[in-house]
């Protein structure tokens, strides 16, 4: 099948209407396909590992809502939990049972979170964790690693200045130079660069925030000993170590990257999976640090929809399914795709290289144009990949070898077409 044979006229019509109401026709930039070109599919429904667009085309999904859908779409237990919760009311603005149960589930899986606070997105969680780190330490600066993404709070939309490391510069219009100057940047997996920043600014650094497995520049695992070094250096400097586990939490292991690599941060940022597809984030850590958060302490942070009962119900239903068997299965699926893609690349003479941690993986091409061709080759064959090679593919427990085989057949054909 070639791209020309797939009818996408309804998606195109809806995207035209969307462009009249949203910037770029979307509510989050990556959805607009700018990195790969073409028109996004508008999704009508989803079940298990599959999506259906408004033209009725079926797609095997590797976006998985960018992480939350670890059980696949519309998992019966999650749907039932959501329905039951909705019937009891959608929001109270008062304490509820489900938020306590979900928090207990999380703290049991990730013991470094002695206390936590629910918010409504990963952005909000990261932003709040930084404010807390600053309030707790009485220091202003933070260290962020180049290529790391922690949501769109001002202090985190910052890249390296002229050198590879040092004072940050805004990556977004609307972020002031003054805010960006409080963010110091070091390359990922470079211990010496962090050491240099701490030597120079140590007594004014409140925290270092890191994705323990980088997943927003494509998947890049931590070098051996890297996380341990960050732990030691931040401790020596009196700065907090913040793990942003919005992607890795309950994904690379039930206890997240901190369990997988055995390194304990002071604060952890969570999102995505803990809401089972509904808007949830959380930040948490040692009780003594969390005691600084209002109303116990002076660091203010609040949210009308925080701990929302429907979102808590979906999160709880999701996390309760995630046992060792699920993680074993996910790792097997990831390994199957990695091996199949690498093999397909070899026979097609492609430079594609797969990097994987469990069920997170990226197929890196030597340039974005090649990735764009591969992406469209896959899409026209019914496989939806993240529309940028800076993003991770997310495999779910609802995928089966049927979808994996179909994916690898499509990949072989797409790579052959590219070589032709």
Interface contacts to ligand PMP, rule CB under 6 A: 66, 121-123, 126, 149-151, 211, 215-216, 244, 246-247, 271, 281
- For residues 215 and 330, which CB has a smaller minimum distance to ligand PMP in the complex? 215
Given the residues 62, 136, 149, 283, select the one marked as catalytic.
Answer: 149
* CB neighbour list of residue 262: distance below 8 Å, 6 or more residues apart: none
The closest alpha carbon to 27, from 40, 12, 36, belongs to 40
Q: Least distance to ligand PMP from the beta carbon of 55, Å?
A: 28
- For residues 36 and 246, which CB has a smaller minimum distance to ligand PMP in the complex? 246
In 120-215, at which residue ranges do the beta strands (DSSP E only) sit? 141-145, 158-160, 166-170, 183-186, 205-210
The closest alpha carbon to 75, from 43, 48, 45, 52, belongs to 48
Provide the CA 310 distance to its chain's centre, in angstroms.
21
244 annotated active-site: yes
Given the residues 53, 144, 188, 272, select the one marked as catalytic.
Answer: 272
Q: Least distance to ligand PMP from the beta carbon of 152, Å?
A: 7
Q: What are phi and psi of 127, to 5 degrees?
A: -60, -40
Q: Kind and range of the H or E element at 350?
A: none
53 annotated active-site: no
Please tell me whether residue 41 adopts helix, strand or coil conformation: coil
**What phi-psi label fits residue 66: left (phi over 0), alpha (psi between -120 and 50 degrees) or beta?**
left
Please tell me whether residue 236 adopts helix, strand or coil conformation: helix
Between CA 139 and CA 202 the distance in angstroms is 10
Q: Least distance to ligand PMP from the beta carbon of 95, Å?
A: 24
Between CA 209 and CA 142 the distance in angstroms is 8
Q: Least distance to ligand PMP from the beta carbon of 27, Å?
A: 11
- For residues 218 and 382, which CB has a smaller minimum distance to ligand PMP in the complex? 218
Given the residues 53, 61, 244, 266, select the one marked as catalytic.
Answer: 244
- For residues 160 and 247, which CB has a smaller minimum distance to ligand PMP in the complex? 247
144 annotated active-site: no
Q: Least distance to ligand PMP from the beta carbon of 114, Å?
A: 22
Q: What are phi and psi of 34, to 5 degrees?
A: -65, -30
Q: Kind and range of the H or E element at 389?
A: none
Q: Least distance to ligand PMP from the beta carbon of 392, Å?
A: 8
- For residues 244 and 266, which CB has a smaller minimum distance to ligand PMP in the complex? 244
- For residues 269 and 414, which CB has a smaller minimum distance to ligand PMP in the complex? 269
Residues assigned a catalytic role: 149, 244, 272
């Amino acid at each position: 099948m070639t791209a020309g044979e797939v009818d996408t006229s309804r998606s195109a019509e809806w995207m035209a209407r969307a462009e009249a109401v949203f910037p770029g026709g979307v509510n989050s930039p990556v959805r607009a396909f700018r990195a790969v070109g073409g028109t996004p599919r508008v999704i009508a429904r989803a079940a298990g590992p599959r999506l259906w667009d408004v033209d009725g085309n079926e797609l095997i999904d590797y976006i998985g809502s960018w992480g939350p859908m670890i059980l696949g779409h519309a998992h019966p237990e999650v749907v039932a939990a959501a329905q039951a919760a909705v019937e009891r009311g959608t929001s109270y603005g008062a304490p509820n049972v489900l938020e306590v149960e979900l928090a207990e589930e999380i703290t049991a899986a990730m013991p470094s979170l002695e206390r936590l606070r629910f918010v409504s997105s990963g952005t909000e969680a990261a932003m709040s964790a930084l404010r807390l780190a600053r309030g707790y330490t009485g220091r202003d600066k933070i260290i962020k690693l180049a290529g790391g993404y922690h949501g769109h709070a001002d202090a985190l939309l910052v890249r390296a200045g002229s050198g590879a490391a040092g004072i940050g510069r805004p990556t977004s219009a609307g972020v002031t130079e003054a805010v960006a100057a409080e963010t110091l940047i070091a390359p990922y997996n470079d211990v010496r660069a962090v050491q240099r920043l701490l030597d120079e600014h140590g007594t004014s650094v409140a925290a270092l925030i890191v994705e323990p497995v980088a997943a927003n520049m494509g998947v890049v695992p931590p070098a051996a000993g890297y996380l341990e070094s960050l732990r030691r250096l931040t401790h020596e400097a009196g700065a907090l170590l913040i793990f942003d586990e919005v992607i890795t939490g309950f994904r690379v292991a039930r206890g997240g990257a901190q369990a997988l690599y055995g390194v304990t941060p002071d604060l952890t940022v969570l999102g995505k999976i803990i809401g089972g597809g509904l808007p949830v984030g959380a930040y948490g850590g040692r009780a003594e640090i969390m005691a600084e958060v209002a109303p116990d302490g002076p660091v203010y942070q609040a949210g009308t929809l925080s701990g929302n009962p429907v979102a808590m119900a979906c999160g709880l239903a999701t996390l309760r399914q995630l046992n060792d068997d699920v993680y074993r299965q996910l790792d097997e699926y990831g390994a199957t795709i990695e091996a199949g893609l690498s093999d397909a690349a070899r026979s097609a003479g492609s430079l594609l290289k797969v990097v994987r941690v469990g069920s997170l993986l990226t197929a890196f091409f030597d340039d974005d144009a090649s990735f764009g061709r591969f992406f469209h080759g896959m899409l026209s064959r019914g496989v939806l990949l993240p529309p940028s090679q800076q993003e991770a593919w997310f495999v779910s427990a609802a995928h089966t070898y049927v979808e994996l085989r179909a994916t690898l057949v499509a990949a072989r054909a797409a790579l052959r077409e590219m070589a032709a």
